[in-house]
Amino acid sequence: MTASHRLSILTRAEIDELYALPRFTDEDRHAYFELGDAEQQLVRARTISIGLHLVLQLGYFKAKFQFFHYDLPAVADDLRYIFARYFPDETPPAVPIPSAPTRRALQQNILDLFGFRACGGTAKAALEKRARRLAMLSTQPIFILRECLQYLKHERIVAPTYSYLQDMIGRVVAAERQRVSALLERALTKSISQQLDAMLEADDSMYQVTLLKHEPKDFSYKELQQESERRTFFAPLYAFAQRFLETTGISADSIRYYASLVTFYTVYKLRRMNSGIARLYLLCFAYHRFRQVNDRLIEAFIRLVNDYEQTARQAASEAAQNALTEASTHLKAAGEVLRLFVDESIPRHASFASVRKRAFTLLAPERFESVSQYMRNVTFDKAGFEWSHYTALSHAIKRNLRHLFAELAVAGRIEDTPLLEAVAFLQECLRNGTSLRQCKPSSFPTAFIPKTLKPHLYRPEAGTTKQLDVDRYEFLVYRLMRNALEAGDVYCSDSNEFRRFEDDLIGNARWQHKDAILKELNLPVLLAPIEQTLAGLHDDIEHLLEHVNHHIDEGDDPYIKVRHQGGKPRLNLVYPDPDENVNHAFYGQIPSIDVARLLWFVATRTGFLKAFTHVLDRYVKHEADPRELLACIVAMGTNMGLRKMAEISGLSYASLVSCARNYLRIETIHTANDAISNATAELPAFHLFNIGDHIHSSSDGQRFETQFDTFQARHSPKYFGLDKGISANTAVANHVPFNLTVFGAHEHESQFVFDLLYNNTSDIRPQLHSTDTHGTNQVNYWTLYTFGYQFAPRYRDLHKKLGGLVGRHAPSHYGQWLVKPSRKSNDELIIREWPAVQRIMASLGQKQVSQATIVRKLSSYKRQNQTKKALWELDNLCRTRHILRFINDVDLRRSVQKALNRGEAYHRLRRAIAFVNGGKLRVHTETEQQLWNECARLIANAIIHYNTALLSRVHEQKRAAGDEVAMAFIASMSPVAWRHINLFGAMDFGAATTPVDIDALASYYADPDYWARMLQAAAEEKDEEA
């Protein structure tokens, strides 16, 4: 395959990281050219010149597990070091490049020494077979490549050339699409073919597929009615797709990916495609969109029921308050009425009517009931008022909920049969257009009505019978249906978010090959016996309990204090201040740079612009104009918009719109972000930001108000007042924002923590991850532990969490210790449910469903079952271990605080970037919300790369001068700074602008006077902050 026709999977920097000749520092040479006994024996068996090359190849292999072709000038420094270290008494020989047979022999020696093997024909065949299996999980090339590289590492096979991997992945991706499209061609019926083809036909100057892509903006009747109509269109396609896709063996992730291509590709491109491939994409789109529509209609149903319930409760609260105020206001008049009974001026023979007439002059008749109830201390009937208010709202309820409820296809468990009978009855009436008032009273299912609510649903009639209030009955069905959907007791199989939890897991047929699946995932926790895992957790907890309580009893830890509150001892932790300044004066001493020049500088160093491939395909002859790409990124990332950017940049609005449509997609901007993040991670200063010798990441949600309504934008009075907004959760490691997800302001950010880490496509791999309390739930500890991450959150109120510790023994075993378990952990339950737990974790790893969906259900479902209890118990053990470590280790507390502070610093930078329009997002769809947030992340990533590059040069400068104080000062710096970045004013994105000379900037700091002025400015700013 020619280079121009190969898949573009990695950036140049990523390719070099894997395949380029290592560039060693003196420290690297000392480490990688260190020889063990067996290695020295091999070297001594060779001549000096061959031995030099053997040591060289040994060092390079240790660094990258690769063999390299090189010329002598490229490795001269390394050869000189090896000669000086291992042959100091020898005369320097001529060191020619070894012959091909000698090179092969040396390489075989190294392979045998390390237990590796070359990627020959058999290994390549096994690798391609594995790649074909991976392509059934996901046809995204980067996913297949990373998994293949992981497989090669695990099997101790030297990776083949990048071009071979490109060709192989290209083959398996194409073969997988052809395989599935061929199956589809054989399965298609005439009517389904016609309906799929019709999606690409124009109707009233608008292509049908374009209309079907439309997303509802809000919960208005019009928007939801249109969404219901789209559901009706997709229904027959979905029914066919459901049967067909089950036979293909492709994963839900692949279905989502194929569906997304319909969104990314233009109708023009879809019509030009091979018809089989295009129909496959359209069918997956119909399948995915139908389930998405159901999700949105159910979510709208739940939201609207919540709104009506909240409205009624608020009205009842206001009525109760008004009744109380009114009654207390008329107490004096009531007293005057009571005095009538002892008023001597009223004749004894006066009629009651005359007395009552006089009483009504003191207190109006309509006030008597409320005042008498107040005086008798009778509580206001809030529930009664709520239900009467539902009657007042019945017209709005019927209009907005009936059309959503009528078409819901739901099922439930045996115990929910009474409710489901009422649901089926009501749906049949609504579908048939039958008025509920015309139905016989005896036909209404009533077994589901709670006894406490019957007084509110039946109104007395003449005689002894009570009449069912059908309006209230209808809303009760809606309300209980809402409760059951949220609890998972009632589910919709044809949705993603509201289907049975069991449907989110690996199917029964596949799970019969459990051992192969677990081996493929290669997660030690799932492969190890659960008894062994529990023993390890308990040993850690017991050891930590002893240490913590010893420090408390001895009082020898200055960072752990015990104070008494209400006569009871209470633990109080001291948090050392992790000093790390943001927007430091260091950056205030250099010339400012505008954002256009900065982006050009970063593009030159990282090649991130190559990530922006054309939406049609990679074979498009012309490339994007980099000026337009950068302008679009800044326009979206700053909330400026393309029209305003055209005005200040000199570029035409039409060209910017065309560029954005063709090149800016979530996948391309995400890949560009990865390129910058990876390049930053390669800079020398990056590892200066390690926390305790680890890459310690954090994530936190940041709220952004939206100018226009979207389905995801929700009210949150705490953040937006009366307006709406969304949340952007960003994962930050060593100050680099390496991943991002956007979700509704009503969703809990803890559900997305695992997603951020597991779906991280950058090369930055954190070992620890921290969040604040909002990032915790009942499953995140165990989930992250299973997948190799250490979860280390910070709790707002640690004292409350101490009451939930679990241990190996009952509390009495631990005597009078201040910190001890509140109960013994239920290990028997965990062991019994372990196979089910393995299945859930494997489903997360196999991309069967969105990880956030499974985590949400596991952490928030009201329904309790034994497997969920076992998972929560495993989480309790992991949480107990973390809390004890957190108490015992002041360095961990400092690290967690430092990691979280870095997330907050990023939020400040992100706010500074999105300065236009008051920071409000000016987008109309959820896809645009994600895209604009990714653009802002790219600008932030570029600023951090620029600053890190500068810090790297200055740090090298100070190290060369032997100035350890200055080196320590730079290591404590933050690259999150924007005081020297000009984000405002006219913008010139032309490449002819003056390039950035990072060495010239670094040279400023070599001047002692300049350095001293910077230190003085930093000290003054610190004093001002204090």
Contact call for residues 56 and 98 (beta carbons, < 8 A): no
Residue 806 and residue 800: Cα distance in Å, rounded?
A: 14
Residue 689 and residue 374: Cα distance in Å, rounded?
A: 66
pLDDT at 619: 44
3-state secondary structure of 593: strand
Counting as low any pLDDT under 50, the low residues of the chain are 618-619, 621, 720
pLDDT at 565: 77
Among the listed residues 810, 812, 758, 819, the one whose alpha carbon sits nearest the alpha carbon of residue 783: 758
Q: Check residue 407 and report its DSSP letter.
A: T
pLDDT at 205: 62
Return the number of other C-beta atoms located less than 10 Å from residue 89's C-beta: 4
Residue 175 and residue 177: Cα distance in Å, rounded?
A: 5
Residues 6+ apart with CB under 8 A from 881: 537, 540, 541, 544
Q: Check residue 438 and report its DSSP letter.
A: G
Let me know the angle formed at the C-alpha of 123 by 122 and 125, rounded to the nearest 5 degrees.
65
Let me know the angle formed at the C-alpha of 743 by 737 and 747, rounded to the nearest 5 degrees.
120
Question: What residue type is assigned to position 500 of the chain?
Answer: R
Residue 656 and residue 640: Cα distance in Å, rounded?
A: 13
**pTM for the full predicted model:** 0.73
Which helix (H) or strand (E) segment is 1024 a member of? helix 1008-1025
Residue 446 and residue 384: Cα distance in Å, rounded?
A: 19
Among the listed residues 947, 937, 491, the one whose alpha carbon sits nearest the alpha carbon of residue 686: 947
Residue 241 and residue 227: Cα distance in Å, rounded?
A: 20
pLDDT at 721: 56
Token duo for residue 287: 């399948």
Residues 6+ apart with CB under 8 A from 527: 518, 519
Based on its alpha-carbon atoms, the radius of gyration of the chain, rounded to whole angstroms, reads 34
**Sequential DSSP letters for 900-958:** HHHHHHHHHHHHHHS-GGGG-B--SSHHHHHHHHHHHHHHHHHHHHHHHHHHHHHHHHH
Alpha helix segments (H runs only) across 349-493? 352-362, 368-375, 382-392, 394-406, 417-432, 454-457, 470-487
- In angstroms, what CA-CA distances link 12 with 9, 18, 383, 589, 722? 10, 10, 67, 33, 48
pLDDT at 291: 92
Residue 191 and residue 181: Cα distance in Å, rounded?
A: 17
